[in-house]
Structure 1
């Protein structure tokens, strides 16, 4: 059984008709040295979480964990034991970036990250966007987002506000590009998205609209036909899926702080727990690939796109 496949990779449907954001992101993903080989897997999980939306953040981060659903059982069993050992079930506590200093989480962190490295077969990708780039789908933010809103409305894809319409496209294009390179026709897909503005249920928009948009984006980058592709929000007090989602949360949080420090040149003090997390993000694993890509607005107004070299920062 093969764990990884080596690059270079090719998004076969990529063309000049795709948005510039999609083309640039796809070309960076194509440069990755390796990707997980899921050819023997019947099902894949996609877990997503986002960061950098608080006041003072200079980067918005979008993190995605794509992993084998078939091979997740050992990780789930090991993390259940870890939770019980450190009192994280009563009261229930998620492994959250904002709670890294909480005693039981702090004491569990080294082992939790080691379990992820050794028992998750997949890829953890964070795409970071410089907030000075106001829209990735047009030169003028208002005009671009108004066009997206109208496109969704006219195609029965829900009533969206400009900010959320842009966000859902950023997320769906990124996942679809990754899936075009790691997934196969006939597989079962489940996307678990943390509670967020892109999957709220309202009077004129709900999570089914997000799902339809995702389906359209998937078809833009690949001709794969999946046996099932399902969608869910976090399951309450379900350690297995919650702990997988926590890795996306960790990634979104720590990458945002690293970029605040190294690119925005702000004074960011990393706690011991955050330093451990940063080191983990920059360290290769036997089963879990980690990749961090960033869009930066350059002095001439163009976008600079590349990988974040975490090893050089820690």
Structure 2
């Protein structure tokens, strides 16, 4: 059986079992990548070496290796049971799980430096204008949304009356509603007026666009931010594979929210599911990945525990 047909029957089988549409869609997308990598050939002609090449990719082992493996593993079990293949094609030994990449937590001072430098660091050939770059940074810092989600926003996704952003087609193919604070709400309103008041637009017009009125791409946003970060001298103090990224604003939002709850004496464990929903995570464990402990967070947690153990201790 050809690979595309085998994938089609496998996905139909998963649907018949009543599995969630989100999980099925994710598996389907990874299997389509597998077809693209090895070609739409007879499954019996795909060698174990070719499968290993697909799993290994071209760079160092990342968590994507395990995502690919745990997508292909049940697919090949299904194929073996139906005699599409006559042997197991996946490697028996798995590589070591890579260490979690440490996020970078931006300080308030660094955020101000980035915002203030947006105009002076603007490159004449850059498609993204300074006011759009500032709005993007404020959106990521103030909502913790993913960079792809911010780039896909349309004008009608922002409700000026309620201050709610509608995030469509997220990482897990769901839609969620993200309320924003009063300051960010006003900034979004002013940005829309500056960006679109003199240009033709509809509700489907991109919220964040370049000087041509074209939607900002993730690639354009990352290149522009890298130039801004280098100009402001914001970098890690210790060696790492990556310097601070746009995605680290998502980490920063989560950690700042947790620290704030600790300072306010809130029940963080009870509020954690709310943060998970706000960030658009499928499971609460996904949120815990973002809440890497910083020194400040540990200090706040220790203080809260001390207050619990010794009520006479003062916060002042």
TM-score by length of 2: 0.22
Higher strand share: 1
Higher helix share: 2
* Structure exhibiting the larger radius of gyration computed from Cα positions: 2
TM-score by length of 1: 0.23
> Does 1 or 2 have the higher relative contact order (CA < 8 Å, sep 6+)?
1
